[in-house]
């Protein structure tokens, strides 16, 4: 009988240890499930962020396309201004040959020429500033996009 009690006591102790191990394992499993849920939420958030960035990219692409068109238009305007500049130079030379009476007209043409040159410089400066601005925005987008892809890939690896 005493031996039976010893065995029962041992079994009870072992049963308690098993219960403790089970509880520890349950706690670990719950913790892992929480981590999995957090990872899923993080993944969903990152996917939403990625979708938003993709939408932003489309918008930026549209803006860039618009700016490229504007740049083309500015180039055309610049070519027209250069042609106008050449025509004005010829006109100035012709007017110098006519006579002194037309000197005021020549002076106005020269002022107009300077104005056109300044406009041309301003247009070139604006064009360069716009291009640089959107190149920087494009570079920032690429960096954010790459960073998010890396985060998503890391989360996918952790989930797997």
- At 100, which helix (H) or strand (E)? none
For residue 102, what is the DSSP state? G
Residue numbers in the chain where pLDDT is lower than 70: 96, 99-103, 105-106, 160
Task: Return the closest-CA partner of residue 106 out of 86, 84, 85, 91.
Answer: 91
Q: Provide the whole-model pTM.
A: 0.38
Which residues have a Cβ under 8 Å from the Cβ of 30 and sit 6 or more positions away? none
- Which pLDDT value is given to residue 101? 67
For the stretch 41-83, pLDDT in tens is 999 999 999 999 999 999 999 999 999 999 999 999 999 999 9
Token reading at 94: 């012709």
CB atoms within 10 A of CB 50: 16
């Amino acid at each position: 009988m005493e031996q039976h009690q010893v065995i029962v006591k041992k079994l009870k102790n072992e049963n308690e240890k098993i219960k403790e191990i089970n509880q520890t394992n349950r706690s670990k499993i719950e913790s892992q499930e929480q981590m999995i849920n957090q990872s899923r939420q993080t993944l969903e958030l990152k996917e939403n962020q990625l979708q938003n960035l993709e939408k932003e990219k489309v918008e930026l692409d549209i803006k860039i396309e618009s700016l490229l068109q504007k740049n083309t238009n500015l180039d055309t305007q610049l070519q027209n201004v250069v042609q106008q500049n050449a025509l004005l130079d010829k006109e100035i030379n012709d007017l110098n040959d006519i006579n002194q009476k037309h000197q005021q007209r020549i002076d106005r043409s020269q002022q107009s020429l300077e104005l056109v040159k300044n406009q041309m410089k301003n247009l070139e400066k604006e064009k360069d500033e716009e291009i640089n601005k959107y190149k920087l925005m494009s570079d920032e987008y690429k960096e954010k996009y790459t960073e998010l892809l890396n985060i998503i890939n890391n989360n996918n690896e952790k989930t797997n």
